[in-house]
Amino acid sequence: QVRIAPDSIAVINDQGSLTYREVNEQANRLAHHLIGLGVSPGKHVGICLQRDLTMIPALLGVLKTGAAYVPIEPSLPESRVEWILKSLTITCLVTHSSVYSLLFNASAEQSCLQHVILLDDANEGTKGSGSVQADGCEVTHLCHRKFPLLPVHDPERSCSSTDTAYVIFTSGSTGTPKGVVVAHRPVINLIEWVNRTFQVCDSDRLLFVTSLSFDLSVYDVFGILAAGGSIRIVTADEIRDPQRLLTILETEPITFWDSAPQALNQLSPLLAQRDGSRAGELRLVFLSGDWIPVSLPTLLQQAFPRVEVVSLGGATEATVWSNFYRIAHVDSQWKSIPYGKPIQNSQYYILDPCRNPCPVGVTGELYIGGDCLANGYTDSNRTAEQFIEHSLAGESRRLYRTGDLARFEADGNIELIGRIDHQVKIRGYRIELGEIESVLRRHKQVDDAVVVVHDSAEGEKRLVAYVVLRHSVATNQQELRAWLRVRLPGYMIPSAFVTLDRLPLNSSGKLDRRALPKPDFRRIDCESQYVAPRSPTEVQLVQVWQRLLGVEPIGVADNFFDLGGHSLLAARMQLEIARSLHRTVPLATLLQSPTVAKLAQAIDREDCVPACQSLAIIQSGAARRPLFCIHVLGRGLKFFRPLVAHLDPSLPVYGLSTQFLVGDVPEHRVEPLADFYVREIRSIQPEGPYSLVGLSFGGLVALEVARRLEAGGQEVGL
C-alpha cells in the first residue's frame, strides 16, 4: 500500500492523521532501533500504549523485526503486567511516559525488563532519557528529535508464515491468564477471507473502538491496512460517551464498525430516537465475542439503511473469527442470532462426550479445526488439554475444544446453546444459565440480562438475574418472576433480580461478570405489601422463615418460594416448626400453604395430620434431594436403617410403608401402591430428579414408581 498510495490516510484520530508513507517510516525507525537492541525472530516485545497515533506504527515496527508483539492493556494492575512480562521473559517494552510512570515501579528483582522505549517526548520527572537506570533497565525516548536519526528503509528481516505474530492473554478459569500464541498464517487466511467476502477496499474507514489486547484488533489494524483503507482511532473519552460515538458515525466517513455487541448496544437508546436525517456512510457492522441482542440488528438497519450486520464467532485460539452469519432479517421467533457457518479453511465439529459426531439437531461440544487454529498457549500443559489430535473419518485432525455447547441446524448453520462452564448444579438440578438469560431477554421490557450464581449468608447457592430494562420502563421483579414461572421449571427461577442501567464491560467490550454488584438477599422485593405477624403462631413462623431464608423482614403475605425457598428447604422448615412450635406439619401442607398467614391458619386449625400418610422420616436433612425407600412385603422399614450409617448425614431419607395407611389401598398389588406412592413422593418433592430404593417386593414397587414418574416427564436419577 505504501507503493500504491503513499499519501493516502492510513490512521486518523481527533488530533491528526498519518499517511501510509508516514506510518511505514515510523515503523521502520522503531524496527531498526529494536533490532539494534537485539530483538529478532522468536522473541517477544511488549506493547503498552494509550490510544493515539503511535499505536499502529508500533505494532508494525515490532513485526518488521520478525519478533511477535504482546499487547498489554495500560489499565491492568501492575502485578498482572509484571506477570505477563515474566511469563514470556519480555525484555523489551514499547510504551508511553505516562503509562511507564504509573505501572512500572518494580525493582530489579521483580522485573525482567532491560529496554523500555517511550514513544513520546521526555517530560520533566519521567524516568530516564537514554541512560541506564539503577535497576539495570535502559529507558529511551524516541521522540521527534531522535526519530529522524534512525533509518527509514525497510529492515532486511524475514519471517515465515509459521512464526509467531502475536501473543494475546485472555482470562483463565483457574485465575491465571492464558497466553494464546498465533502465527502469521491464520492471520493471513482471516484477512484474505474478510476482505474478499465483504469487498473491503481503500474507500473503507473503520472506527477502531477495541483494545489492542482484544483480538478483534488484529483484523481492525492489519485487515484494513491490507485493503488500503483507513483506521479512525477512538480515544478513551470517546469510547465512554455513546453520544460522541454516534456523532462520529453520523458526521465522519465511517463505513465499518467492529466490536463486541455490548459496545455497540450502548448506542441503542440513541439510535431509537434518531429521525434518520443523518444516515452516515456506515455499510458494514461486525459483532462478535458475546451474545447479540436479537433486537440490535433491526435497530441498526433502520438507523443506517445501507448497513449489513454480520455475526461472527470463534475463539482467540482460532484466530479472531472462524465462523460467520450474515443477518439479513431477524425472525421474530428467534431466541438468539444463528452462530453461522465456518469461514474458509476452517472446520467445525460437534461431538458427543465420546467425541463421536452428533447428528443434526443434537447438542454436543463444539470443536474447531483447520488453518485458523493458533499454535497453542504459552503453557504447554494447557495446550495439551485444549488442542487435541483426534481421528475423524479415519483421518487425524488437530482440534481446539471450545467449551461451547452447540448443535447443527438442518440448513448447516450452527446454533450456539451455551457454555459448558456456565452450567451450574443447584440442589441436584443441572441448570444452563444461558437458557434463563434467553427467556428473560424475550420479555418485551427487558433489553439485556445475565444470570449468575451467588452464595447466600447461609451457604445456599442462589440464582441472581441482572436485568437492563428498556428506556423509561418500570418493571418489578414479580412481573419478571411470573414471566419465567410459566416458561421454566421452578428450580430455574432466580431468587433475586437486580436492575442495572447497563451491564458492566471489561476493556475488550465483553461482559465483566466479576463487576456485577452482589445482591442483598436480606430483603427481596415481594409482590405483596409488608404485613406484620398478628398472632403468636405467625410470629413464630416468621422467625423460622427468617432464619432459614436469611431474608428480613418477612411479612405474613410473602410467598415462601418467591423469597428463595424450595422443596428441600421446606423439609428443614418442617423440622424447625416441630422444634419451635412443637407441632408436626406434613410437608404437603407446607408446600400447599406458601405464606405465613396460610400456614398459620392450617396449624391453628389443627388440620396438620393428613387423611392418608405413608411416609416416615428415617433420617432428617436437607442438603440434597431426598432418598425414598420402599418397604419389603411385610411393611417393615427396619432393613434400611443399616444403610443410613453409610449415607451423607445431610441427606434426607424417607421410608414409604403401608403400615401408616388410613385408606383402602391394596397392600400387595404393585400398581395401586405405585400410584399412591407417586402422589406421596411428589407431595414431598414436586419435581425430579428422584432417588428411589426398593428392597425385595419394594424393588418391584420402586420400578413401577420410577416408570410412572418418567411417564409424567420427570427424571429418576437413581
The whole-number pLDDT of residue 667 equals 58
Do 636 and 555 sit in the same domain of this protein? no
Residue 530 belongs to some domain of the structure: no
Do 421 and 455 sit in the same domain of this protein? no
Q: State the CATH number of the domain containing residue 665.
A: 3.40.50.1820
Higher pLDDT, 450 or 688: 450
Do 558 and 585 sit in the same domain of this protein? yes
Checking if the pLDDT of 413 tops 70, the result is: yes
The whole-number pLDDT of residue 175 equals 47
Residue 24 belongs to some domain of the structure: yes
Residue that terminates a domain, selected from 396, 426, 456: 426
Q: State the CATH number of the domain containing residue 372.
A: 3.40.50.12780
Do 568 and 620 sit in the same domain of this protein? no
Checking if the pLDDT of 419 tops 80, the result is: no
Do 410 and 438 sit in the same domain of this protein? no
Q: Domain range holding 450?
A: 430-515
Checking if the pLDDT of 547 tops 80, the result is: yes
Residue 521 belongs to some domain of the structure: no
Checking if the pLDDT of 308 tops 90, the result is: yes
Write out the DSSP string of 213-266: TSTHHHIIIIIHHHHT-EEEEPPHHHHT-HHHHHHHHHHS---EEEE-HHHHHT
The whole-number pLDDT of residue 178 equals 86
Residue 64 belongs to some domain of the structure: yes
Residue that terminates a domain, selected from 445, 480, 515: 515
Report pLDDT digits (tens) over 110-122: 568 899 999 875 4
Do 689 and 704 sit in the same domain of this protein? yes
The whole-number pLDDT of residue 109 equals 44
Residue 440 belongs to some domain of the structure: yes
- The model's pTM is 0.66
Report pLDDT digits (tens) over 310-347: 999 988 999 999 999 999 988 877 777 888 999 999 99
Do 491 and 371 sit in the same domain of this protein? no
Mean pLDDT of 74-88: 84
Whether cis (ω within 30° of 0) applies to the bond prior to 553 is yes
The whole-number pLDDT of residue 459 equals 59
Do 683 and 559 sit in the same domain of this protein? no
Residue that terminates a domain, selected from 159, 189, 206: 159
Higher pLDDT, 366 or 583: 366
Q: State the CATH number of the domain containing residue 110.
A: 3.40.50.980
* Share of residues in the chain with pLDDT > 70 (%): 84
**For the ranges 136-145, 181-190, 668-677, which has the lowest average pLDDT?**
136-145
Do 253 and 316 sit in the same domain of this protein? yes
Do 559 and 498 sit in the same domain of this protein? no
Residue 173 belongs to some domain of the structure: no
Residue 380 belongs to some domain of the structure: yes
148-155 own/partner pairs: CB under 8 Å, 24+ apart: 150/28, 150/29, 150/30, 150/32, 150/33, 151/28, 151/29, 151/32, 152/25, 152/28, 152/29, 153/28, 154/24, 154/28, 154/64, 155/28, 155/31, 155/32, 155/35, 155/64, 155/65
Do 247 and 389 sit in the same domain of this protein? yes
Q: State the CATH number of the domain containing residue 447.
A: 3.30.300.30
Structural domains of the chain, count: 5
Residue 98 belongs to some domain of the structure: yes
| Most confident of the following: 226-230, 479-483, 573-577 | 226-230
**For the ranges 272-286, 429-443, 616-630, which has the lowest average pLDDT?**
616-630
Confidence of residue 11 (pLDDT cuts 50, 70, 90): very high
Do 346 and 266 sit in the same domain of this protein? yes
